[in-house]
Structure 1
């Protein structure tokens, strides 16, 4: 049975839950996990990434895979100068995440002076390397977690000349967008909600049966938000100017009255 080695990266964070919406669920955030490297003095450092997991309740029973991870061997020394490897791009439920776990397989190696050597991952590393990061992730917002694998601090040369991996990983969190939410009144009919900034393409959603809406993935900026009711409602369209979207935040417009 294939033995896996677990590198634990602690990530203490909370997900803020907002109003529900039929077409856009604000109780989830889009999450990317990317791998980069700080250069090291080797020809290649190859790690065998099998999975990325999260821990949702601080206990050993709280682990679950983020899914859609294609097992692959990455040469860390190629992930420099703005190049990275996308490990995960998915949506996860709102709630507490205590850790991220990078699951490695056995096919790890290092190339030194043209010679390839096995890269051992000591069993002690199963207890992991923990890095604490405290940040609120807002529903409807996209976040990127960058795992900065610091090779120069992660490779140990043993007394017998063998090489071991004792990873040092820095976690960087980037919010790539904001969100705009609120509700309309009356809400007997569905309303199209669109946000436009300058010449950019409109970001559009619809209200749910309770008149609530959330525009996901809104880049930072100032927007005109237009509400277009169904023609059968007899209500007139309405535009609200000067609505700000802030990275990593949900801008709540409150209740918008339609006439």
Structure 2
């Protein structure tokens, strides 16, 4: 068993050290969630609908007048998106960011002015009211649990969002439905003694699914993004202390399974 742990550890240690350094202040403290925002669309009778997306912001305050409650999520690719590319279950990732766990009440979609619709091969500008460019607010009221990734979809109804006023003039009045889903579950705990536990591994059958390195100061570890199921959690010692395994740890989507304090001997 020891050889299995150390072989696996050698293969993943470099990447784990990097991830541990990057996320120690977030994941180990157990106070953050990851919010990923996706764009999808309902069918529409157009050749293309181009929307200029500049920013996405979330608000943890129930009062949208509180400006300090808004936090921007960095857009992976700011610019123009053709909504009709994301029909029939297709979507695209707009942003993914660690944010404090808790309740987010609203999301604000900030649009640019470069919006257009293509009808029968001809392109027409979509006039966008200034209020929508400054931020289209959508109520979501989602409760984010620490160490769980949540996916939020912006379901943009292109057909209902485009209003014609005649003379080939079109106005963009976005109609967007939002929905969220928790993805995967999490195993967390504390591994002691400090600096003697070289790796923690989530194992199904004989496959190491994911791993973590305990925090050097607290011994805390988090293994997130696990599919629902049962895992053996293996702790690799440093050669002085023996390996140990906690069997049959149940993982459920949207929940955190706390293994507690494990001390190697």
TM-score category, normalised to shorter length:
0.7 to 0.9
Is 1:222 aligned to residue 230 of structure 2? Answer: yes
* Residue 242 of structure 2, aligned match among 232, 236, 245: 236
CA gap of 1:190–1:239, structure 2 versus 1, over 3 A, is: closer
In 2, Cα distance between equivalents of 1:123 and 1:215: 44
Cross-structure match for 2:32: 28
Name the CA shift for 1:80/1:229 in 2 (closer, same or farther; >3 Å): same
Structure-2 residue corresponding to 1:163: 170
- State the alpha-carbon separation in 2 of the partners of residues 168 and 23 from structure 1: 35
Give the C-alpha shift of residue 179 in structure 1.
0.7
Does the 8 Å CA contact 2:74/2:96 hold for their aligned counterparts? no
TM-score for both structures, normalised by structure 1: 0.81
> In structure 2, how many angstroms separate the alpha carbons of the residues matched to 1:128 and 1:166?
12
Using the alignment, how far apart are the partners of 1:39 and 1:156 within structure 2?
16
The alignment of Structure 1 onto Structure 2 pairs a total of residues equal to 238
Say whether residues 1:174 and 2:178 are aligned partners: no
Secondary structure (helix, strand or coil) at the match of 1:201 reads strand
| 1:48 partnered with 2:56 | no
Report 1 or 2 for greater relative contact order, CA contacts < 8 Å, sequence distance ≥ 6.
1
Alpha-carbon distance, 1:72 to partner: 1.9
* Superposed displacement of residue 40, structure 1: 0.7
| CA shift in 2, pair 1:89/1:124, >3 Å | closer
Contact 1:151 1:167 in 2 (8 A): yes
Shift of 1:133: 3.0
2:260 equivalent in structure 1: 254
CA distance in 1, matches of 2:75, 2:120: 36
When the two structures are superposed, what TM-score results if normalisation uses the length of structure 2? Answer: 0.79
Q: List aligned pairs for 1:81-120, cutoff 5 A.
A: 81-120=88-127
Paired with 2:131 and 2:48, the residues of 1 have a C-alpha distance of 24
Give the CA deviation at 1:254: 1.9
- Alpha carbons 1:137, 1:248 under 8 Å: kept: no
Distance 1:169 1:35, change over 3 A: same
RMSD (Å) for aligned C-alpha atoms: 2.5
Give the Cα separation in 2 of the matches to 1:201 and 1:106: 49
Question: Aligned in 2, Cα 1:183/1:44: closer, same or farther, shift over 3 Å?
Answer: same
Specify whether residues 41 and 127 from structure 1 end up closer, same or farther in structure 2 by C-alpha distance, changes over 3 A only: same
Residue 203 (1) aligns with residue 210 (2)? yes
* Distance in 2 between residues matched to 1:176 and 1:139, nearest whole Å: 13
In the TM superposition, residue 129 of structure 1 has moved relative to its aligned partner by 5.3
Offset at 1:158? 1.8
Higher helix share: 2
- Structure 2 distance, partners of 1:21, 1:109, is 44
CA distance in 1, matches of 2:90, 2:133: 28
Residue 118 of structure 1 deviates from its aligned partner by: 1.1
CA deviation digits over 1:16-56, x for unaligned, max 9? xxxx9668433222222111100111121110111222223
